[in-house]
């Protein structure tokens, strides 16, 4: 008898179910006796013993379904060692529930924070496998996370739609793309959508450079401009402050504006008199069906996780590196972030094309 547990944790994304299907089908087709337990709403289900024994019916028809059949929640790693409001030791409780069900392995689907807790559970002696999920593609140790390409497609569609109306009206538009700390999604969607200016958390912007880029387009006869702005875009003068002062300054901005995009719009207006429209696709970027690329990636990652479980190999993330599915020890990747390097090939290529990054 093989008993495995599954949980999805953190912000959802499109290909969670496709990955779950890959894992379970990969096992069910090769193992005689299999029990799969799904923990409800991420680590909360593991902490409070909220789980269900899943049947083949649960995994049928889920390849194309967005969201997660298990539910998810955010349980911050920062406070995982602190007792909850009722005094429950979260880590002890997770270990007890794992052992109570006599699990052979727990497969954890999630992003960076989720991975840190997975690594902690590994250190505590549990057999865990981590599956790299996030629309942000910021997990260190894998070239790609599932969810990323589906989100790029949605954000690109949003920019495409804005493009037609912006060009008809000769307007300047900001499209705000998800990514608080890391800008892979705004970078890729910005390039795919033909944005003229892309502002990322990793490249603090100079508002005067942004204004200049808008004015230069006007001078060259292009009446409209598309600016793709990451949620975490940061003005240069704030990025130069200490971490503490930065946090305070950004909080001041969010007191005044719904998000950084609205401040950028207001600043450009102040300097040029040009009226800017802001569009925020927001959580639509995490919604709907996974794209074909993600379905394939998730199936490959899930299938490999099944093989690792059958081989009794645990304590790793299943990654894709140079097109090959590989296992990466959790101690090598947990706690690290894969950020956009300002001199990476994508940015060099984009700059050559005339895209401004406001630097
Ligand atoms: O981590 C995924 C992500 O969608 C980020 O891109 C975004 O900044 C954040 O989650 C939004 O979080 P929430 O769903 O809690 O608003």
178 and 136 Cβ atoms separated by less than 8 Å: yes
Question: What's the pLDDT at 323?
Answer: 98
What does the pLDDT look like over 30-75, one tens digit per residue?
A: 999 999 999 999 999 999 999 999 999 999 999 999 999 999 999 9
Question: What's the pLDDT at 254?
Answer: 94
Tell which residue, 180, 179, 116, 107, has the closest CA to residue 148: 179
pTM value?
A: 0.96
Question: What's the pLDDT at 206?
Answer: 98
Q: How does the average pLDDT of the chain come out, rounded?
A: 98
338 and 182 Cβ atoms separated by less than 8 Å: yes
Question: What's the pLDDT at 259?
Answer: 98
Which ligand 1 atom is nearest residue 111's CA? Answer: 1
Tell which residue, 259, 228, 294, 231, has the closest CA to residue 13: 294
Which residues contact ligand 1 via a Cβ below 6 A?
11, 111, 134-136, 178-180, 231, 286
Average pLDDT over residues 231-246: 97
Question: What's the pLDDT at 155?
Answer: 98
Separation between Cα atoms, residue 199 and residue 189, nearest integer Å:
12
Confidence band of 193 (pLDDT split at 50, 70, 90): very high
Pairing state between β 34-39 and 51-54 = antiparallel
Pocket test for ligand 1, best of 11, 77, 133, 258 (most atoms within 8 A of CB): 11
Average pLDDT over residues 87-107: 98
Question: What's the pLDDT at 64?
Answer: 98
Q: Residue 158 to residues 155, 164, 182, 292, 313: CA-CA distances in angstroms?
A: 5, 11, 20, 19, 42
Which ligand 1 atom is nearest residue 181's CA? Answer: 8
Tell which residue, 80, 96, 187, has the closest CA to residue 135: 187
What separation in Å is there between the alpha carbon of 222 and the centre of ligand 1?
34
Quickly list H helices, the chain. Answer: 16-28, 43-47, 90-100, 112-123, 148-169, 184-192, 207-219, 236-239, 243-256, 260-272, 292-311, 330-333, 345-352
Confidence band of 23 (pLDDT split at 50, 70, 90): very high
Helix 184-192 vs helix 148-169: crossing angle, to nearest 10: 50
What does the pLDDT look like over 25-40, one tens digit per residue?
A: 999 999 999 999 999 9
157 in active site: no
Within 8 A by CB and 6+ apart from 305, the residues are: 22, 23, 26, 107, 129, 131, 318
Question: What's the pLDDT at 7?
Answer: 98
Count Cα atoms within 13 angstroms, Cβ side, for 136: 25
Within 8 A by CB and 6+ apart from 277, the residues are: 166, 171, 172, 173, 174, 265
What separation in Å is there between the alpha carbon of 293 and the centre of ligand 1?
21
What does the pLDDT look like over 123-172, one tens digit per residue?
A: 999 999 999 999 999 999 999 999 999 999 999 999 999 999 999 999 99
Average pLDDT over residues 177-184: 98
Question: What's the pLDDT at 57?
Answer: 93
What does the pLDDT look like over 254-295, one tens digit per residue?
A: 999 999 999 999 999 999 999 999 999 999 999 999 999 999
């Amino acid at each position: 008898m093989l008993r495995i547990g599954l949980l999805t944790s953190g912000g959802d994304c499109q290909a969670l179910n496709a990955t779950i299907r890959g894992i379970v089908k990969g096992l069910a087709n090769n193992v005689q006796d299999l029990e799969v337990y799904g923990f409800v709403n991420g680590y909360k289900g593991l902490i409070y013993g909220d789980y269900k024994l899943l049947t083949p019916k649960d995994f049928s028809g889920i390849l194309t379904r967005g969201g997660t059949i298990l539910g998810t929640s955010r349980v911050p790693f920062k406070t995982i060692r602190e007792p909850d409001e009722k005094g429950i030791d979260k880590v002890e409780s997770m270990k007890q529930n794992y052992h109570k069900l006599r699990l052979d392995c727990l497969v954890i689907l999630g992003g960076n924070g989720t991975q840190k807790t997975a690594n902690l559970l590994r250190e505590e002696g549990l057999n865990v496998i981590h599956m790299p999920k996030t629309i942000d593609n910021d997990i260190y140790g894998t070239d790609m996370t599932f969810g990323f390409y589906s989100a790029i497609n949605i954000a690109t569609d949003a920019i495409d739609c804005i493009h037609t109306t912006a060009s008809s009206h000769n307007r300047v538009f900001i499209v705000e793309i998800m990514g608080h700390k890391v800008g892979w999604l705004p970078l890729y969607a910005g390039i795919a959508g033909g944005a003229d200016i892309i502002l990322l958390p990793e490249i603090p912007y100079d508002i005067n450079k942004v204004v200049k880029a808008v004015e230069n387009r006007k001078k060259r006869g292009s009446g409209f401009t598309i600016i793709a702005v990451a949620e975490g875009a940061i003005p240069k003068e704030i990025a130069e402050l200490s971490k503490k002062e930065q946090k305070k300054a950004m909080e001041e901005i969010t007191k005044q504006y719904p998000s950084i995009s609205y401040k950028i719009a207001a600043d450009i207006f102040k300097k040029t008199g040009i009226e800017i429209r802001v569009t925020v696709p927001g959580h639509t970027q995490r919604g709907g069906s996974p794209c074909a690329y993600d379905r394939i990636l998730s199936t490959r990652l899930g299938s490999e996780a099944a093989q690792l479980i059958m081989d009794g190999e645990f304590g790793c993330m299943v990654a894709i590196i140079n097109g090959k599915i590989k296992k990466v020890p959790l101690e090598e990747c947990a706690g690290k972030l894969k950020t956009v390097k300002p001199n990476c090939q994508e940015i060099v290529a984009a700059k050559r094309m005339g895209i401004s990054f406001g630097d």
